[in-house]
Amino acid sequence: MQFSCRRFSIRNVLACCIVALPMPELPAPTFQNGPTLSQADLVADFDGWIAGMRALNPDLSIRVDMQVFERESARIRAALTGSMSRREAWLHFAQLNPHLRDAHAGIQIPNYRGALDEHLKTGGHVVPIEVRFASDGSLRVFTVAPGVEGVNPGDRLVSINGHGTDQMLAAMLSRAVGDTSAFQRAFVARRFAMFYWYLYGDTGQYDLVVEPARGSSPRQVRATGATTLPAALQPQRSAEDMFSWRILPGDIGYLRVDGFDGDKKDALAKVTQTAFAAFKARNARALIIDVRENSGGDDPLWQQDLVNHFTTKPYAQLSHYVIRITKDNADPGDVIGAVQSSDYDKRFTPPSVDPVRYSGPVYILAGPYSYSATIQFLVAAQDFHLAKIAGEETAAFSCQTGQVKRIDLPKSGLSAATPIIAYTRPSGEGCKRGVLPDVPIAINEVTPSETLDALDHWIREQS
């Protein structure tokens, strides 16, 4: 079996030693390469992507270091010297993604969730583990596919099929979208199966080298690949998987909301009506709204199905915006392609009467994957003193972008996008930072229940 020992970190040296044990060869990796594109087609689509961002984004320099953008764009374009498959084109183009510093901007394989799902339905496999980053920066096993023995949640991942974690993460993070490096890590962790498939292919069986969390010697396990996708990669998630509620010990209400997807509006409304009625009837001493796994969606969902149920205060999620005028948002007299900048002084006012409204203290628990409309929810709640934010500084910037538009790349069919609006949070301050917590609680991505327990304990102590 092949293994690269070119980078001699401690973990990779361990992996080199272990995978040298005699084992049957793994099957050759298979890839979904897609159509082959000529050099002219590659250059045309890359230029079209860059031109599309310049034409649609209201101001790239709000997020982007333009000198780095120009340098990296030129470097990637210069590397397009011959024909490539669609997968190879993405591997090249996507190296610009991190430099855009915006998870609303970038380039992806088209419908990668659906493509992965179809791969599994036709007999393929994906890596049989999910991963998360520990606080020390190491990559840990988060969940294990059924039937895999010898690998446990919390184990440190050393290598997969001879690819050391340092090597894999360098390749994945160099192509990840996101506002910050912390968000890019959260993005990669939740799409690890996708990144691994496009970078290293599917071998059906996978050699995993892990270092047990309790300090035992590293061990190698050969496991059959998973045949189901992790939740974050599933094309469609059920409402039961995205929303839940319960009463925690000490009469603290708990509501988990993993998305503000428009197609889940009715389901979210039903859950929140039931949950808030229970919190009110129980006279809960406090409420935790958990949005650690919520990467956004539509603002009206958090406004109507969350905020309306715990406050009567007027509020907004922005104080200023810069927007590119397109045919879809133009008012009479607007010039298509122009950029407008304006202060925002409107307020959303919850209804005066809500039969299930909860009147106790509210804590919103955020994490490194909280994004987009979820950040809008956080800044509205914080800047208008509707609730307290718990956790650590968010990995996403507190001043978000939105109204994402696709950029057509007809030759490759790759999926490119950019936002056409940039918001300033209500306070007008802190745009170059994440949302700072009112209640600092250490975020444990590997064992999320510990974070919730810590916040629950803090609230009970305060009460």
Q: pLDDT digits over 101-150, tens only?
A: 999 999 999 999 999 999 999 999 999 999 999 999 999 999 999 999 99
Beta-strand relationship, 362-365 and 388-391:
parallel
Tokens 């969730």: give the residue. 113
Mean per-residue pLDDT for 4-16?
40
Residue 72 burial (10 A CB sphere; 0-12, 13-18, 19+): middle
* Angle, vertex CA 215, rays to CA 212 and CA 221, nearest 5: 25
Q: Is the per-residue pLDDT at 22 higher than 90? A: no
Rounded CA separation 323/337 (Å)? 10
Q: Which CATH number fits domain 10-30+113-233: 3.40.630.30, 2.30.42.10, 1.10.645.10, 2.60.120.860?
A: 2.30.42.10
What mean pLDDT comes out for the span 10-24?
Answer: 50
Of the pLDDT bands very low, low, confident and very high (cuts 50, 70, 90), residue 20 is very low
As a whole number, mean pLDDT of residues 431-444 equals 97
Average pLDDT rounded to a whole number, residues 58-67: 97
Q: Which residues pair with 417 in a beta bridge?
A: 106, 406
Residue 198 phi, psi (nearest 5) = -75, -25
CB 311 within 8 A of CB 388: no
Find the mean pLDDT for residues 67-87. 97
Query: Does the pLDDT value for residue 215 go beyond 90?
Result: no
235-253: average pLDDT: 92
The per-residue pLDDT for range 257-282, each reduced to its tens digit, is 999 999 999 999 999 999 999 999 99
Contacts for 29 with CB less than 8 Å, ≥ 6 apart: 200, 201, 202, 203
Report the distance separating Cα 354 and Cα 396, nearest Å: 32
Neighbours of 254 (CB within 10 A): 21
Pairing label, strands 129-133, 163-164: unpaired
Nearest to 57 by CA among 352, 324, 387, 283: 324
Judging by DSSP bridges, how do beta strands 129-133 and 139-144 pair with one another?
antiparallel
**Backbone φ/ψ region at 429: left (φ over 0), alpha (ψ -120 to 50), beta:** beta
Rounded to whole angstroms, how far apart are CA atoms 284 and 226? 41
CA distance linking residue 5 with residue 12, whole number of Å: 7
Higher pLDDT: 19 or 382? It is 382
CA–CA separation, 2 and 29 (whole Å) = 12
- Residue 237's pLDDT is 86
- Kindly state the average pLDDT of the residues 155-161: 97
* pLDDT value for 279: 97
Provide the whole-model pTM. 0.92
Percent of the chain whose predicted confidence (pLDDT) is above 90? 90
Task: Inform me whether the pLDDT recorded for 12 exceeds 80.
Answer: no
pLDDT tens digit sequence for 356-382: 999 999 999 999 999 999 999 999 999
- The predicted pLDDT at position 369 comes to 98
Pairing of strands 439-440, 388-391: parallel
Q: What is the pLDDT of residue 216?
A: 77
Tokens coding 421 = 């609006």
Neighbour count for residue 347 (Cβ, 10 Å): 11
Residue 294 has pLDDT above 80, yes or no: yes
Is 70 exceeded by the pLDDT of residue 3? no
For residue 23, name the pLDDT band (cuts at 50, 70, 90).
confident
Please give, one letter per residue, the 3-state secondary structure of the chain: CCCCCCCCCHHHHHHHHHHCCCCCCCCCCECCCCCEECHHHHHHHHHHHHHHHHHHCCCHHHCCCHHHHHHHHHHHHHCCCCCEEHHHHHHHHHHHHHHHCCCCCEEECCCHHHHHHHHHHCCCCECCEEEEECCCCCEEEEEECCCCCCCCCCCEEEEECCEEHHHHHHHHHCCCCCCCHHHHHHHHHHCHHHHHHHHHCECCEEEEEEECCCCCCCEEEEEECECCCCHHHCCCCCHHHHEEEEEECCCEEEEEECCECHHHHHHHHHHHHHHHHHHHHHCCCEEEEECCCCCCECHHHHHHHCHHHCCCCCECCCCEEEEECCCCCCCCCCCCCCEEEEECCCCECCCCCCCCCCCCCEEEECCCCCCCHHHHHHHHHHHCCCCEEEECCCCCECCCEEEEEEECCCCCCCEEEEEEEEEECCCCCCCCCECCCCEECCCCCCCHHHHHHHHHHHHHHHC
- The per-residue pLDDT for 463 is 74
Q: How many CB atoms lie within 10 A of CB 298?
A: 17
Amino acid of residue 95: Q
Amino acid sitting at position 87: R
CB-neighbour burial class of residue 255 (10 A; exposed 0-12, middle 13-18, buried 19+): buried
Say which CATH class 239-462 falls into: alpha beta
Closest CA to 87 of 38, 122, 35, 127: 35
Mean pLDDT, residues 70-79 taken together: 98
For the chain, the structural domain boundaries read 10-30+113-233, 239-462
Mean pLDDT of 205-214: 93
Q: Which amino acid is at 367?
A: G
